[in-house]
Structure 1
Amino acid sequence: MTSTILVVDDEPDLEALVLQKFRRQIREGLVSFMFAHDGVEALQSIELNPHVDLVVSDINMPRMDGLSLLQKLQEAEDKKSTIIVSAYGDMSNIRTAMNRGAFDFLTKPIDFADLETTIQKTIRHVETLREARRRQLEAERAHASLSRYFSPEIAKRLAAASGESDGMEVQWRDVATIFTDITGFTTLVESAAPETLGELLNAYVGGMTDIVFQHEGTVAKIIGDAIQVLFNAPGDQPDFATRAVACAHDLDIWAEGFRQRWKDKGVNFGTTRIGVHAGPALVGNFGGSRFFDYTAYGDTINTAARLEAANKHLGTRICVSASVAKGAANFQGRPVGDLMLRGRSEPLRAFEPLPPARFETPLTTQYSEAFAKLEAGDIAAMPAFAALVGMHADDALAGFHLKRLLNGAKGVRMQLE
């Protein structure tokens, strides 16, 4: 590749001398030269020939001197590497030039062997910068493209991988995972017009993933209306449980607003149910050599899915495990009970997380008192829940416990089908 050098000097004989001294390099296509007689002419030349690679400039010239030209070049978006030529011993100008961003300097009279060496060194510097810029642009383009399909953290790692390890190898990690699903979605698929369903589902998934990305979560899977989210993977997030709870609340708020907007249009869009659990999981790219499938497997993932399904029985929209409640900072919620989930041999304490506006109400205190009686086996639990439902008929979880008690159940351990 030919390097283009702009020489800026008002000496009339310099152009012929440079072309003579560099005739071999010019003939071999290594360099080409352009010439200007002052800073103004140099800037005009660069504007017409933006491919100029470097500038060799004298200091003392009419109209615009070399130091002023150097300043203009450094202010430009495409900064040109510049070699300043100064009178021998003129350290003041040389210091000023280096402070203004000159790459190197030479003294007059010019030693052409020194000039050739300095030019070669500068060209190598220019090529290094150009290669770095090229890689950065490629990474930015790759990231922009990948961001259309992957969570930002995954897109960033894939764009920066450059064939090396991208941190996506299968490994055990402690994660928090969220599962979401929509009630009655199968019925909606069978009844809605294709164009309506397409618009509906794309808008829903787009809005939900936007919420996840705001909390810096990773969307591991989207299967129809169901979404699986990971925290603390692939990057480290020590507050992953806190993030998961906050994300679940925001997903719930957004999904309820979405459901209401479509209800106003005459479309019966179901409630979004959310399950959250934390623990170890096998995480990484499970897509083999031809596909990319960054996801997670293990009991932690299965449990989150079971908690999502448990909402259907409990009447809740969000159900989180004790590991999430304990791991989240300032967790606010109320206990659901000890759930015997399918696939687990031990009961799992579950909670319904509440936003501050709901948590800090007499209703939460009443529920906690009734639940404490239920957990203690106190026969006063039934009237306590009955009183609660009498005052708050829309409290589905309280109604769930009252129904259990009326059917002869005791305690807080429950088998969910």
Structure 2
Amino acid sequence: MTVTILVVDDEPDLHELVLQKFHKRIRERAVAFMFAHDGIEALRSIEAHPHIDLIVADINMPRMDGLSLLEKLQEADTTKSTIIVSAYGDMNNIRTAMNRGAFDFLTKPINFSDLEITIDKTIRHIERLREARRRQAEAERAHASLSRYFSPQIASRLASANAESDGMEVHWRDVAVIFTDITGFTSLVEAAQPDVLSELLNEYVGGMTDVVFAHEGTVAKVIGDAVQVLFNAPGEQPDFASRAVACALDLDSWAEEFRLRWKTKGVSFGTTRIGVHAGPALVGNFGGRRFFDYTAYGDTINTAARLEAANKVLGTRICVSATIAGATHEFRGRPIGDLILRGRSEPLRAFEPLQAAAFRAATTMQYSAAFAKLEAGDATAIPAFAGLVSTNADDPLAGFHLKRLLNGARGVRMQLE
């Protein structure tokens, strides 16, 4: 790569001397020289030729001297390196030049061997700066891309690290998965005006993403109204199950507030349903060399999606597996039952996580007592659930179990389509 050097000096013979002394390196295209007779001419050259890398300037020149030129370059916040060459080699000039950003200082008469050594040293400095700027630009581009998926903390760490050594490669690992979806979204798309739908979705996805990032989760996919979230990927999170449950509860709270707020504007936005499961999954960048698509595949992912869909039948908004509940520190929730999910033959115990206040409520204790009777095959489960529904009509899960019992079902195992 050719380094372009601007020599600023009013000596008439210097032009030819420089070209003569550096002719070999010019012929090899290692350096190229431009010339200006004073600071004003130099500033015009710099503006016309922004590729100039290095400036070699005298101090004593007409119209604008070298120290004034340095001051102008400093005001312009230019990254160009400058070597001051002057017969005025006293400490005041040296100090002023350095304070105004000069990289080095040589005295006249010019010793061209010293000048060449100083130019080489400055070129190495320029190359280091270029490499640092290149790395910074790459990191900024990587951070911008990674910020679509990861919280700011994780994105910054990944952008500054070697991706292949920090979880981007496809591999098996234990993860917690959250799936969210919105009821009636297809009808909303068909009925809403494009500008309203755009505002709705942008605010919704942005808000949901903010909640995920607050828990340092990874947004693996956003497909229309559906959001897929991962924990314990790409980095290690020993408390990933607890994070996932806390995140699910906060997502539910935010989505309900969002739904009710838009309802006051006359827009019927559906309820957000959430499914959470944990287990092994194939995780990594599946985008090949041209795209970045950090996501996960496997039975764990499919199970989380089916738990999300189960909410539609159960009347709940959040449904988590026993795997998640059992791994969560001080899990607060109530049992739903043993679900045989679509495409499965073995049941999976599911729970509805609750906020602390709801968990402590008397109705939760009533539900737990009724569920225990249901699980034990006790005939008094029907009046227990009936009593709960009569005093708490807005509990859809209690109503679901009562309806099952009245239709002749027994126990807590249930087939879901």
Tell me which interval the TM-score lies in, with the shorter structure as reference length: 0.7 to 0.9
For the structure 1 residues 383 and 94, does the alpha-carbon distance in structure 2 shift closer, same or farther, using more than 3 Å as the test? Answer: farther
1:32 maps to what in 2? 33
**1:326 CA drift (Å):** 3.3
8 Å CA contact 1:15, 1:35 repeated in 2 = no
TM-score of the superposed pair, with normalisation by structure 1: 0.75
1:195 maps to what in 2? 194
Q: Please tell me the residue identity of whatever aligns with 1:347.
A: P
Matched residues in 1 for 2:64 and 2:362: separation? 79
8 Å CA contact 1:6, 1:36 repeated in 2 = no
Deviations 1:72-119 (A, max 9, x none): 8678643343446699x9999989998997655657765321321221
Give the alignment of 1:10-409 within 5 angstroms: 18=18, 21-22=21-22, 25=25, 30-34=31-35, 51-56=51-56, 77-83=77-83, 103=103, 110-137=110-137, 140-141=140-141, 144=144, 146=145, 150-152=148-150, 167-188=167-188, 192=191, 195=194, 198-199=197-198, 202-203=201-202, 204-286=204-286, 293-376=293-376, 381-409=381-409
Matched residues in 2 for 1:330 and 1:102: separation? 63
8 Å CA contact 1:58, 1:66 repeated in 2 = yes
Query: 3-state DSSP class of the match of 1:176?
Result: strand
Q: Please tell me the residue identity of whatever aligns with 1:192.
A: A
Matched residues in 1 for 2:329 and 2:84: separation? 59
**1:319 CA drift (Å):** 0.8
Q: Which runs of 5+ in 2 are unaligned?
A: none
Deviations 1:9-40 (A, max 9, x none): 899987775565345556776232546779x9
The alignment covers a number of residue pairs equal to: 413
Matched residues in 1 for 2:384 and 2:97: separation? 84
**1:215 CA drift (Å):** 4.0
Matched residues in 1 for 2:71 and 2:236: separation? 44
Matched residues in 1 for 2:416 and 2:47: separation? 74
Matched residues in 1 for 2:44 and 2:337: separation? 78
Matched residues in 2 for 1:396 and 1:314: separation? 7
Deviations 1:340-376 (A, max 9, x none): 3234444322221222343343333443344445445
**1:122 CA drift (Å):** 1.7
Deviations 1:281-326 (A, max 9, x none): 1123445677665432222111111211221222110111122223
Query: 3-state DSSP class of the match of 1:359?
Result: helix
For the structure 1 residues 114 and 329, does the alpha-carbon distance in structure 2 shift closer, same or farther, using more than 3 Å as the test? Answer: farther
For the structure 1 residues 138 and 184, does the alpha-carbon distance in structure 2 shift closer, same or farther, using more than 3 Å as the test? Answer: same
For the structure 1 residues 187 and 100, does the alpha-carbon distance in structure 2 shift closer, same or farther, using more than 3 Å as the test? Answer: closer
8 Å CA contact 1:311, 1:319 repeated in 2 = yes
Matched residues in 2 for 1:328 and 1:196: separation? 41
- Name the stretch that deviates more: 178-187 or 403-412: 403-412
Matched residues in 2 for 1:239 and 1:53: separation? 52
Query: 3-state DSSP class of the match of 2:394?
Result: coil
Matched residues in 2 for 1:176 and 1:215: separation? 13
Q: Please tell me the residue identity of whatever aligns with 1:130.
A: R
Deviations 1:355-414 (A, max 9, x none): 234334333344334444544555554444333323221122222333344445444443
Q: Please tell me the residue identity of whatever aligns with 2:191.
A: A
Q: Please tell me the residue identity of whatever aligns with 1:31.
A: A
What's the Cα RMSD here?
A: 4.7
For the structure 1 residues 84 and 291, does the alpha-carbon distance in structure 2 shift closer, same or farther, using more than 3 Å as the test? Answer: closer
Q: Please tell me the residue identity of whatever aligns with 1:297.
A: Y
**1:142 CA drift (Å):** 6.3
Matched residues in 2 for 1:97 and 1:356: separation? 66
8 Å CA contact 1:170, 1:286 repeated in 2 = yes
Fraction of identical pairs, as percent: 75
8 Å CA contact 1:315, 1:400 repeated in 2 = yes
